[in-house]
A and B are shown apart, each in its own frame.
Chain A
């Protein structure tokens, strides 16, 4: 007896979502879309630069909507990524159910689940970044000269003390000998609690080495001088203050991905060892 169409619809939708054909179609479309995005970014980068400062929704309402000719590819990409995430979730879950249904030995189970764990991790990372672009608050224009103090909204303070720059000392990059590679901006940080109790700590800020104070991320946006004697006599750091409640999500996703990768590699190593062993080879 055939199932009624109403009853069949969720199953058909699920099967379609889990289809590898859909994955391939989405990958082709994403490739084409990102190709257009590359060309668009080359000519209109300034439209996209404010996105991380103003947030995705505000950006979509303002820069995105006002420049649709240049941003349509981005909205298309967002739609395609949502579809790809749904496809990955459905596909992975279907496989997972299959593995569990076959009741593999308990010892092998983590290794068999490892690839699927990585797929879920990618979804968590994507969700984390989406949350970050939706809910993070950013203040990009905070400049400080040596000896100046900045107060965060919660009362914590950062005092910029000095630079201890490390410069490029080689002819490795033509024309850049003597340029500062790591500014090593020294800060005295007092968290809101420190401010009440009189404590403080010293820390160093660099590109890709932000400072975290009471949930606020302090990032280095710009600094001068870029080389000794440069900067036209000015020495300052420009900071980006960012509060990102979703950061914990994508960091968790990254941890899950690494765990899955380690499990997968151990599983493969275990299998290779078995195959190469005299006992395994005779199998």
Chain B
């Protein structure tokens, strides 16, 4: 029976390691290894090149300019670094370029100039460096080609065959499920090797991690408000699932996120009944709409869709917050965005904090006075 005992002890030890390993996700940690994964993205440093895995699971090789392409990679899967010209689909990637200190590499975007509030992007348009390459789902491939990009950052894998035929490398920057807070904060470390800006990526991450720690410290032990994030549109109800970074942030800031049980992609569709059911219990509601898109007051939201008037935050004792236009174009200030959200959840922990990225909606739209300014 001694052998049996040894086997049992060995197995118990393995299980113990697992128990000690725990299942908690350590938000705000990074590891110094030749291999690093950021959610499903990864960066694997090899002897002569760096292998990265993008959001679609594709392997790309990053090589120094003029270096030899490694074997086993298609020509458009080999990217010379540092990248000098980029077309970016999402504002998030544009913000990351700014965070890495390489905003001048941006040569194409999928929103026209008037949609941008970022000074560096507007300036790029004025200088003629940045071009509008069409809406993200109706891309003008010839316009992209005319910009001679070294790289296209996209969420849309369906453009890859066309880009391959144009000889332009593509990196898919989103995954099928919403990114968690850790991945959202560390995504910069996935992009940094494309530009040889690893030190800047690390500094950005540490800055955001410090903000997160501040939020943890300030909100510890406070009574948890109940929050929801999403919107009712004409035909669809979309919310942030429990695995999204905002949901995780709300949890870390000592609050209850009411769609924690929902898993999937960002802006996931749910039933109207579920939205209203959770909404009856909520203290705070974050809408997707900016004031430009009609989120000017609780009454304005209720006018657009009377069903939403049933949720508690739209009543007199609730609070509704709308993102300002700069919110979606300021991820290079992610630390400030996180603190804004935490200050909304626990205003008592951040006395006098000036909101920069959100606005609380009044009950009704301000009445315009006749002859007033």
**Contact flag A76-B3 (CB < 8 Å), given A143-B157, A144-B161, A145-B161:** no
**Contact flag A236-B21 (CB < 8 Å), given A32-B15, A79-B11, A175-B269:** no
**Contact flag A69-B15 (CB < 8 Å), given A62-B35, A234-B137:** no
Task: Give the shortest distance, in Å, between A70 (CB) and chain B (any CB).
Answer: 7
Q: Interface stretch among B115-123, B172-180, B316-324, B355-363?
A: B172-180
The yes or no answer to A36 lying at the interface (CB within 8 A) is yes
**Contact flag A141-B158 (CB < 8 Å), given A16-B4, A29-B11:** no
Nearest neighbor of B60 in chain A, beta-carbon distance: A141
**Contact flag A49-B40 (CB < 8 Å), given A140-B57, A234-B137:** yes
Task: Give the shortest distance, in Å, between B257 (CB) and chain A (any CB).
Answer: 15
The yes or no answer to B234 lying at the interface (CB within 8 A) is no
The yes or no answer to A80 lying at the interface (CB within 8 A) is yes
Nearest neighbor of A138 in chain B, beta-carbon distance: B57
Nearest neighbor of B26 in chain A, beta-carbon distance: A69
CB neighbours of B22 from chain A (8 A): 69
Question: How many interface residues does chain B have, given as a range?
Answer: 35 or more
Q: Which residue of B160, B162, B180, B269 is within 8 Å of A46 (Cβ)?
A: B180
Check A141 against B35 for contact (C-beta < 8 Å): no
A69 CA / B20 CA spacing, docked (Å): 8
**Contact flag A22-B271 (CB < 8 Å), given A44-B23, A46-B180, A80-B14:** no
Question: How many interface residues does chain A have, given as a range?
Answer: 35 or more
Check B18 against A76 for contact (C-beta < 8 Å): yes
Check A174 against B3 for contact (C-beta < 8 Å): no
Interface 0/1 of A121-145, CB less than 8 Å to B: 0000000000000000000110111
Check A234 against B158 for contact (C-beta < 8 Å): yes
**Contact flag A21-B4 (CB < 8 Å), given A140-B58, A141-B172:** yes
User: Which residues of chain B have a CB within 8 Å of any CB of chain A?
Assistant: 1, 3-4, 7-8, 10-12, 14-15, 17-19, 21-26, 31, 33, 35-37, 39-40, 42, 44, 53-54, 56-58, 136-138, 156-162, 172, 175-177, 180, 183, 269-271, 273
- Name 24 interchain pairs, CB-CB below 8 A, sorted by A: A13-B3, A21-B4, A25-B7, A36-B15, A46-B175, A46-B180, A54-B53, A62-B44, A66-B37, A67-B37, A73-B21, A75-B14, A79-B14, A80-B14, A83-B7, A83-B11, A143-B159, A145-B158, A145-B162, A174-B271, A222-B176, A224-B158, A232-B136, A232-B137
Q: 13 extra interchain contacts, Cβ-Cβ under 8 A, other than A79-B14, A233-B137? A: A16-B3, A16-B7, A29-B12, A46-B180, A62-B42, A63-B37, A66-B37, A68-B21, A69-B21, A83-B7, A141-B56, A143-B157, A233-B138
User: Which residues of chain A have a CB within 8 Å of any CB of chain B?
Assistant: 12-13, 16, 19, 21-22, 25-26, 29, 32-33, 36, 39-40, 42-47, 49-50, 53-54, 61-63, 65-73, 75-76, 79-80, 83, 140-141, 143-145, 148, 150, 174-175, 222, 224, 232-234, 236, 238
